[in-house]
Amino acid sequence: MSGFTAGIAALGGLVLAAIVAWNAWTTRRNVPRQPEAAVAEASAAREPSLERTEPVFDDAPLAPLPLPERKPGLDGLIDALAAIAVDVPVSGEAALAALPPTRRAGSKPFAIEGRNEASGEWETPRAGQRYGAFQAGVQLANRSGALNEIEFSEFVMKTQAFADAVNGSPEFPEMRDEVARGRELDQFAGSHDAQLGFTLRARNAAWSPGYVQQNASRLGFVPGAIPGRLVLPAAAPGVPPILGLAFPTEAALSEDPAQTAIRELTLSLDVTHVPRTEQPFVRMRDAAIALAAAMDGLITDDDGRVIPAEALDAIGADLEHLYDTLDARDLSAGSDQARRLFS
């Protein structure tokens, strides 16, 4: 073999070796990052062992789900109210039987409460109790818009039907006044609603669902009610979570989660639903920074632009002004009224 032929053969061998190495590197790069326990198990599987080990399911639930959100009562600040007088006390069973089958008037929540004879408190009717008066209410505004004339008319019809069933006499407010209140409240809500979201994007290797859960759990996140959604629960039971962390539902329901690649997560905060005392934005910012550092990711906006640290600080300052405005309107972030209005 001539020197030239040998050189060509050697060069071909080097090229082939480079291609093999490149393919191996690309394969490793494209394999989703795995949780630590899964990585340890994979390493152990390559070593001969006579011991039998039990499998670890990294994608199993990390903790119990948060308690259901409690339902706040009617409030004249955000509800149109109709008083219902009764001549004699009404049993809880009779009141429950008279309630309408749906709890909405159009797109607005509708509710009926009774004044408990024993406690004097207004509450949703319960069996075994007696009620000396009732009130019906329909919400003046929510994220679907302001109360309109058709919805108010449906509210009147539902209330009148209940009153007839319990031998009560309703007293309705003026429709024009309540619709006007609804529009004014809707304008305020539209100008002061805030829902923040950051996108965490994988810088290089993608993430598996188990890897995401493991890193999020270290910051206090637990599985939510929807596959692919994690939440940072509030300290008090029965109230909305502080933050949400989401990835595609299909990835969460994959038959082979270890090979399911996730390249971005959404970290979200519904500002008006969380009390400012929880410091939700500070916790959101810190969670985003910690996850990006631990998972080799970038913090970006919806368009993929990286968000610098100084921009995060500016958002926090703007939120403080929003909190002050909501407080002045008796619609403090995280209050029952604010959570109902901004829903």
pLDDT in tens, 176-229: 999 999 999 999 999 999 999 999 999 999 999 999 999 999 999 999 999 999
Q: Which two tokens stand for residue 219?
A: 């910051």
| Reduced DSSP (H G I as helix, E B as strand, rest coil) percent helix, strand, coil of the chain, to 5 | 40, 20, 35
Q: Do 319 and 203 lie in a common domain? A: yes
**Rounded CA separation 221/241 (Å):** 10
Count helices and strands in the chain by DSSP H and E runs = 10, 14
**Measured CA distances, 118 to 1, 121, 122, 135, 265 (Å):** 107, 8, 11, 17, 51
pTM of the model: 0.78
**Low-confidence residues in the chain, pLDDT < 70:** 1-30, 37-72
**Rounded CA separation 251/228 (Å):** 7
The answer to whether 223 and 230 are in contact (CB under 8 A) is yes
Q: Do 202 and 328 lie in a common domain? A: yes
**Rounded CA separation 318/326 (Å):** 13
The answer to whether 257 and 210 are in contact (CB under 8 A) is yes
3-state class of 192 per DSSP?
helix
Q: How many domains does the chain have?
A: 2
Instruction: Among 170, 186, 202, identify where a domain stops.
Output: 186
Q: φ and ψ at 279, to 5 degrees?
A: 50, 55
Report the CATH number that the domain containing residue 316 is assigned in CATH. Answer: 3.30.1400.10
Nearest to 273 by CA among 316, 231, 245, 243: 243
Instruction: Among 186, 201, 233, identify where a domain stops.
Output: 186
**Rounded CA separation 34/39 (Å):** 6
Angle between helix 209-217 and helix 36-46 axes, rounded to 10 deg: 130
> Is residue 221 domain-resident?
yes
Q: Do 181 and 209 lie in a common domain? A: no
**Rounded CA separation 226/228 (Å):** 6
- Domain interval for residue 121: 79-186
Q: Do 227 and 327 lie in a common domain? A: yes
Q: Do 220 and 316 lie in a common domain? A: yes
Q: What contacts 258, CB < 8 A, 6 or more positions away?
A: 32, 34, 38, 208, 210
Q: Do 328 and 198 lie in a common domain? A: yes
Q: What contacts 236, CB < 8 A, 6 or more positions away?
A: none
Q: Do 161 and 275 lie in a common domain? A: no
Environment class of residue 52 by beta-carbon count within 10 Å: exposed (0-12), middle (13-18) or buried (19+)? Answer: exposed
Q: Do 157 and 231 lie in a common domain? A: no
**Measured CA distances, 96 to 49, 90, 99, 125, 138 (Å):** 65, 10, 5, 6, 18
> Is residue 288 domain-resident?
yes
**Rounded CA separation 239/337 (Å):** 13
Q: Are strands 243-246 and 229-232 parallel, antiparallel or unpaired?
A: antiparallel
Query: What is the structure's pLDDT at 310?
Result: 84
| Structure-token match 């950051």, residue found | 198
> Is residue 335 domain-resident?
yes
> Is residue 72 domain-resident?
no
pLDDT digits (tens, 9 = 90+) for 46-81: 444 434 333 333 444 444 444 444 466 999 999 999
**Rounded CA separation 102/126 (Å):** 17
Instruction: Among 126, 161, 186, identify where a domain stops.
Output: 186
Query: What is the structure's pLDDT at 19?
Result: 55
Please tell me what DSSP assigns to residue 204. Answer: S
Q: Do 201 and 330 lie in a common domain? A: yes
> Is residue 17 domain-resident?
no
Please name the amino acid found at residue 228.
G
> Is residue 294 domain-resident?
yes
Q: Do 286 and 250 lie in a common domain? A: yes
**Measured CA distances, 196 to 32, 39, 152 (Å):** 28, 34, 32
> Is residue 179 domain-resident?
yes
| Structure-token match 């326990």, residue found | 37
| CA of residue 199 relative to chain centroid, distance | 15
Q: Do 295 and 311 lie in a common domain? A: yes
Q: Do 206 and 223 lie in a common domain? A: yes
> Is residue 224 domain-resident?
yes
Q: Are strands 297-300 and 195-202 parallel, antiparallel or unpaired?
A: antiparallel
